Amino acid sequence: MREPVAESALQIRRLLRELLRRWDLPEDVADDADLITNELVTNAIVHARTRFHVFVELQGPLLRIAVVDSCTRPPGGRAHRGRGLRAVTHTALRWGWRESDTGKTVWAEVFV
């Protein structure tokens, strides 16, 4: 679980890069995953302002990145000021979100 502070985004991106190197994924996939992860984590830090988890899964030809926070507000709502989700939309194969009793999960997938 990560605290909603700016340093968390950098730490997570470093861990992501190391994981993707271990999985021997192409650099362009790593670049896309880095951008998506940065945007989803930044949204959790800036808008949700709650502790959060990041999950990364390799599911066949897809890399799935998910950020789970404790805020039930939809991503990209009124508080959204930046272009982060637009960047995710243009980079990911698909993305979405689902609400739960304890918050929400925002996820995105890219081809590997």
pLDDT, tens digit, 9 for 90 and up, residues 89-110: 999 999 999 999 999 999 999 9
All residues at 6 or more sequence positions from 58 whose CB lies less than 8 Å from its CB, including other chains: 23, 25, 64, 112
Task: Identify the domain containing residue 31 by its residue range.
Answer: 6-111
The better pLDDT of the pair 74, 19 is held by 19
CA end-to-end distance (rounded Å), the chain: 26
Q: Is the pLDDT of residue 81 over 80?
A: no
Q: Is the pLDDT of residue 78 over 60?
A: no
What is the pLDDT of the chain when averaged over all its residues?
A: 90
Domain-embedded: residue 106: yes
Domain-embedded: residue 30: yes
Domain-embedded: residue 1: no
